[in-house]
Amino acid sequence: MSEKSRAVVLGGSLAGLFAARVLSDAYDEVLIVDRDELVGQDGPRRGCPQGRHINGLLARGQQVMEELYPGITEELFADGVPTGDLAGSVRWYFKGNRLRQEDAGLVCVAASRPMLEKHIRERTRVLPQVSFLEKHDILGLATTADGSRVTGARVQRLTGKSAAKTIEADLVVDATGRGSRTPLWLEQLGYPRVEEELKKIGLGYVTQHYRLNTDPYDGDLSINPAASVELPRGAIFTKTDGGRVELTTYGLLGDHPPTDQEGLYRWLETLAAPEIAEAARQAEPLDEPVAFRFPTTLRRRYENLTRFPDGLLVTGDAVTCFNPIYAQGMTVAAQSALTIRDHLHTGATPDPLQYFRDLARDVIDPPWEMTNAVDLSFPGVPGKRTFQLKMQQAFLSLVQTAAARDSKVTAAYMRAAGLIDRPEALMRPSFVARVLWRALLPGRSRQDNGSGGAGGGTRGSAATSSRQDAPSELAA
């Protein structure tokens, strides 16, 4: 081992970049290894097929990004990325009803995935401790003879006939995504099989970019009709960088949007937000519709293991792949980097089992449990529906009904959906009382700010009087 300390990050997507950023504060060298060419790229990458689709950075993700890279939010805005407020300038539809809008200080960064990656990658690249090893396949881990400690990674150049080589490291972080081979490598080293929790959701989505000839937004940033039990189809129709509009529309349980242009237009006409289909038909398509399939969510329960080699951590989608329509993946990757940082504060090699327990409890459990309740509200999604889960689903339905009548409810709901507040915040007695009053009151419900009645969707005075800089809780 060299005198200088070294961390190796396997995978150069956002989870790997966030991890490299925090590791650069603790290690003399941080090396990011990836199959793709990364530096200087500004378009979708082969190794990140979801880069062609909408990727949402939740409000909490924007906060963490700004903490790790001060000033990066304004850099994105200066590069043509639109902004707004998750509760005030995103037009949400739930159960077919438009939610009341009110600015809640939830900064939206409506960047395309390639644009966001480009800025974060460049800010990571200029760190003096960080370097990239591109166009290399990751073959496996190097370990001590007894397998109790990971001492590096074995890699090989993709082009030419170069021999495999071992990169020595004090710490290896696996950020290779859903296809992570760490579970296989662990078994080969004699460790127990990692428990995997799968949920079949049968999600499929299609993305297309447009140049608008009409304006359906009326000052809003995005129009997002969410899938419901009655109509398991939804969309995100958002302004994005380059003066473009980005559309991702999706369907669950095998009900997938078509990729032919006329078929896609007809699909959009079935959504709860009719303004999307009307605007898309009159817009100029900038590319062909592109499809993506996401059959199952996945959670690897590393926190349940009793043995794990020192010198190895796992982060991002390599641990948990959320249903992408909730836009949690990038934000959880950013929060996971903070958990890694918390375990580096003494300068010692992290305790992997304690890291995984903290990651599960503090970062993964809240969004996983919240969205699991939504996923299992669709009868076709297999899974155990306990009495407690059914109560959660019933209350969430009341929250959505109340939010169509009360912008204060929308703001609180979006603070939880944006991972600013933990889900328990929605169970405060004062909020529960407000939800019950708004949701169960017969007929129209009076708005505190004096705007119209149930489902009307007019923006409250807080939104019209103050447009705060805010991020895109854009799903998928």
In three-state secondary structure terms, 82 is: coil
Q: Is residue 275 part of a domain?
A: yes
| One domain for residues 281 and 408 | no
Q: Is residue 176 part of a domain?
A: yes
Confidence (pLDDT) at 347: 61
Across 270-289, b (16+ Cβ under 10 Å) vs e yields: ebbbebbbebbeebeeeeeb
| One domain for residues 301 and 272 | no
| One domain for residues 304 and 179 | yes
In three-state secondary structure terms, 297 is: strand
Reference 88, options 424, 318, 426, 413; nearest CA is: 413
Instruction: Classify residue 254 by its DSSP letter.
Output: T
Q: Which stretches within 27-172 are classed as H helix?
A: 59-68, 72-78, 113-125
φ, ψ (nearest 5 deg) of residue 395: -70, -40
**CATH code assigned at 138:** 3.50.50.60
| One domain for residues 273 and 304 | no
| One domain for residues 77 and 161 | yes
| One domain for residues 222 and 353 | no
Residue numbers of the domain that contains 428: 387-458
Q: Is residue 148 part of a domain?
A: yes
| One domain for residues 280 and 303 | no
Cβ atoms 115, 241 nearer than 8 A = yes
Q: In what order do the strands lie in the sheet with 312-314?
A: 130-133, 29-33, 6-10, 171-174, 312-314
Contacts 24+ apart (CB under 8 A), 416-419: 416/370, 417/58, 417/86, 417/326, 417/370, 417/473, 418/58, 418/59, 418/60, 418/86, 418/106, 418/471, 418/473, 419/58, 419/59, 419/60, 419/61, 419/328, 419/331, 419/332, 419/335, 419/366, 419/367
Across 317-348, b (16+ Cβ under 10 Å) vs e yields: bbbbbbbbbbbbbbbbbbbbbbbbbebbeeee
Cα–Cα distance measured from residue 371 to residue 322, given in angstroms and rounded to the nearest whole number: 8
Confidence (pLDDT) at 43: 67
DSSP 3-state helix, strand, coil percentages of the chain (rounded to 5)? 35, 20, 40
Identity (one letter) of the amino acid at 18? F
Last residue within a domain, chosen from 296, 311, 343: 296
Q: Is residue 267 part of a domain?
A: yes
Cα–Cα distance measured from residue 395 to residue 61, given in angstroms and rounded to the nearest whole number: 26
Cβ atoms 206, 258 nearer than 8 A = yes
Confidence (pLDDT) at 456: 38
In three-state secondary structure terms, 134 is: coil
DSSP letters, 402-425, are: HHTT-HHHHHHHHHHHTTSS-GGG
| One domain for residues 204 and 224 | yes
Last residue within a domain, chosen from 258, 280, 296: 296
| One domain for residues 39 and 174 | yes
Q: Which helix (H) or strand (E) is 295 found in, with range?
A: strand 290-300
**CATH code assigned at 257:** 3.30.9.10
What's the whole-model pTM score? 0.90
In three-state secondary structure terms, 180 is: coil
Place of tokens 């460790």: 191
Last residue within a domain, chosen from 296, 313, 344: 296
φ, ψ (nearest 5 deg) of residue 238: -130, 150
Contacts of 122 (CB under 8 A, 6+ apart): none
Q: Which helix (H) or strand (E) is 280 found in, with range?
A: helix 274-282
Contacts of 110 (CB under 8 A, 6+ apart): 81, 82, 83, 84, 221, 222, 238, 239, 240, 241, 471, 472, 474
- Helix count (H) and strand count (E) of the chain? 14, 19
Q: Is residue 284 part of a domain?
A: yes
Q: How far is CA 209 from CA 118, 215, 280, 295, in A?
A: 19, 15, 9, 24
Confidence (pLDDT) at 443: 57
Residue 198 β-bridge partners = 298
Query: What does each of the 476 residues of the chain score in pLDDT, given as a tens digit?
Result: 447 899 999 999 999 999 999 999 999 999 999 998 888 777 676 766 676 788 889 999 999 999 999 999 999 999 999 999 999 999 999 999 999 999 999 999 999 999 999 999 999 999 999 999 999 999 999 999 999 999 999 999 988 778 899 999 999 999 999 999 999 999 999 999 999 999 999 999 999 999 999 999 999 999 999 999 999 999 999 999 999 999 999 999 999 999 999 999 999 999 999 999 999 999 999 999 999 999 999 999 999 999 999 999 999 999 999 999 998 999 999 999 999 999 997 667 899 999 999 999 999 999 999 999 999 999 999 999 999 999 999 999 999 999 999 999 999 999 999 999 999 999 999 999 999 999 998 655 444 433 333 333 334 333 333 333 322 233 32
φ, ψ (nearest 5 deg) of residue 270: -90, -10
| One domain for residues 421 and 405 | yes
SS (H, E, C) 187-208: HHCCCCCCCEEEEEEEEEEEEE
The Cβ-side half-sphere exposure at 32, using a 13 Å CA radius, reads 30
| One domain for residues 73 and 127 | yes
Cα–Cα distance measured from residue 267 to residue 428, given in angstroms and rounded to the nearest whole number: 40
Instruction: Classify residue 324 by its DSSP letter.
Output: G
Q: For residue 347, what are its two tokens?
A: 């300068």
Place of tokens 């019209």: 464
**Number of domains making up the chain:** 3
Q: Is residue 151 part of a domain?
A: yes
Confidence (pLDDT) at 36: 86
| One domain for residues 81 and 153 | yes
Q: What is the largest CA-CA distance in the chain?
A: 74
